[in-house]
Amino acid sequence: MQRKIAVIDDEERFLDLFKKILTSRIGNIEVATYRKAKDALNDLLRKDFDLIITDLMMPEMDGLELLRKAKEAKPNATIIVLTGYPSIETSVTAMKEGAYDYVEKPINNDALVIKVNKALERAQLLRERENLSQIVQGRRFEIIGTSKAIQTVKQLVEKVAPQPVSVLIEGESGTGKELVARRIHLLSPRRSSSFVAVNCAAIPEGLFESELFGHRRGSFTGAVSERKGLFEEADSGTLFLDEVDSVPKESQGKLLRAIEMGEIRAIGSDKPRFVDTRIIAATKKNLLSLAQSGQFREDLYYRLNVVKIKIPPLRERREDIPQLAYYFLKIYSQKLGKNVTKISDSFMRSLISRRWEGNIRELENLIAMEVALSDSDTLRGSYSETTLPNETEFSGNITYKQAREEFDKSYIRSVLARTGWNISKAAKLAGMKRQSLQYIMKKYGIRRDENI
């Protein structure tokens, strides 16, 4: 693949000299030259250059400003700066701003070629690392399953990912709405930019606009410093609005404008800012019904719902349970340093027959618990069979809430016993914060001196 180099210098003779040296002594390259930094910056932000070579002393926009803006947009950009006024100060400043190397004028041809070759090698390594990272992330956020229902979801994800449209994901709690959103992002042209996720229901009352659009210092009580909003953090990337039905009615108009026009205004600012942020929203409620009843803006609903993806609950895709169970088994065996590789037939039948009101999240938690407490290479449901009976066993006798509470109590007692009632170790084993574990212990009255 032909490598691309951008050279920026306000003197035409230097541009001609650079192009001649580089094309004659370094093979398989394309050199683009620019006399104005502003003209170069437009291309640098839109195109992928393997190497940028820029003079420091230029009118209108100097090389350091160009360097800062290029690195801000593309942190991995490989940049060599040129200076006709060599000094330790200018070199150090350029390197601090993210330059890979510098070259002094007048140009030493041999030194230039050596430095450019090294810079191109560095750019190639960074590109390979980024490609590998994307492959790993793609596997991490893979949608597991082969059922007809989940295949429909996968096909929709692949079709909509490259398109710059809003997506609304519907599904019960624990079905994997955020995973689907991340998968869309990773398959989109925005994959190298940020994926920012926020649970709208978790934003404190009165702070929604500040959280999404940012605020200026002193704009309200407690605004002790300027803060960038999530829309700006996700600029050129994706913003995932989970539980979007919780957006306050008074803020829905501003959210609509941000999506329609790409325009946001920080609290306390009189100047709008334009962002290129893709929106993926999710809800476990019927958003159309909320819109029709006046609880949610109908125009915002249709703006969010350009493409809808409905994720089926686990009980409607039971044929995927074995694959999901083994997927989580592998993850938690590695994470917890266990050599657990199999699931017994009887336990698997039990998994397939359960109600799974908590969907995939509940299945993951159950497998994590079994792996954490297992002393063999096979999961047999030893710690969950009695606390989470299958559908026929508890139907009509115990509610899901009661079964869930019994499971929580039994699981926490088991983890505490296994760690000698060391709360910090137990919390780490359970994959939760120490405070969360203490809260559950207090909630259910779990004490070390009780008879377990």
Structure tokens at 417: 């016993």
What pLDDT was estimated at residue 85?
A: 61
Nearest Cα residue to 284 out of 354, 199, 205:
199
Distances (CA, A) of 253 to 216, 256, 258, 264, 318: 21, 5, 9, 12, 41
Q: How far apart are CA 284 and CA 81, in angstroms?
A: 52
What pLDDT was estimated at residue 277?
A: 95
The region that residue 302 occupies, defined by phi over 0 for left and psi between -120 and 50 for alpha, beta otherwise, is: alpha
% of residues, the chain, pLDDT over 70: 89
What pLDDT was estimated at residue 444?
A: 83
Same fold, 3-136 and 141-312: yes
Whole-structure pTM over 0.85, yes or no?
A: no
Give the pLDDT confidence of 204-260 residue by residue, as tens digits: 878 888 889 988 877 777 666 778 889 998 999 999 999 999 999 999 999 999 999
The phi and psi torsions of 273 (rounded to 5 degrees) equal -125, 140
The region that residue 282 occupies, defined by phi over 0 for left and psi between -120 and 50 for alpha, beta otherwise, is: beta
pLDDT band at 382 (very low <50, low <70, confident <90, very high): confident
The answer to whether residue 388 scores a pLDDT higher than 50 is no
What pLDDT was estimated at residue 452?
A: 34
Domain boundaries 315-444, corresponding CATH code = 1.10.8.60
Q: Which residues lie closer than 8 Å to 149 by C-beta, 6 or more apart?
A: 312, 316, 317
What pLDDT was estimated at residue 451?
A: 39
Give the pLDDT confidence of 427-436 residue by residue, as tens digits: 877 777 787 7
The answer to whether residue 398 scores a pLDDT higher than 90 is no
What pLDDT was estimated at residue 295?
A: 93
pLDDT band at 402 (very low <50, low <70, confident <90, very high): low
What pLDDT was estimated at residue 393?
A: 40
Distances (CA, A) of 366 to 63, 198, 350: 57, 26, 12
Give the pLDDT confidence of 91-138 residue by residue, as tens digits: 678 788 889 988 888 888 888 899 999 999 888 888 766 655 554 454
Q: What angle do CA 47, 49, 53 make, to 5 degrees?
A: 125
What pLDDT was estimated at residue 391?
A: 39
Amino acid sitting at position 273: R
Would you kindly state where each structural domain of the chain is located, as residue ranges? 3-136, 141-312, 315-444
The phi and psi torsions of 221 (rounded to 5 degrees) equal -60, 125
Pick the CATH number of 141-312 from 3.40.50.300, 1.25.40.10, 2.60.40.10, 2.60.40.2470: 3.40.50.300
What pLDDT was estimated at residue 204?
A: 82
The answer to whether residue 83 scores a pLDDT higher than 50 is yes
Which has more confidence, 338 or 407? 338
Give the pLDDT confidence of 145-203 residue by residue, as tens digits: 989 999 999 999 999 999 999 999 999 999 999 999 999 999 999 988 889 999 999 88
Which has more confidence, 170 or 451? 170
The answer to whether residue 420 scores a pLDDT higher than 60 is yes
Q: Fill in the DSSP letter of residue 267.
A: B
Give the pLDDT confidence of 301-343 residue by residue, as tens digits: 999 999 999 999 999 999 999 999 999 998 889 888 889 999 9
Average predicted confidence (pLDDT) for the chain = 85
pLDDT band at 392 (very low <50, low <70, confident <90, very high): very low
Domain boundaries 3-136, corresponding CATH code = 3.40.50.2300
Q: What is the mean pLDDT of residues 20-30?
A: 89
CB atoms within 10 A of CB 105: 16
How far apart are the two ends of the chain, measured CA to CA in Å?
66
Q: How far apart are CA 352 and CA 349, in angstroms?
A: 5
Q: Which residues lie closer than 8 Å to 378 by C-beta, 6 or more apart?
A: 340, 341, 342, 343, 344
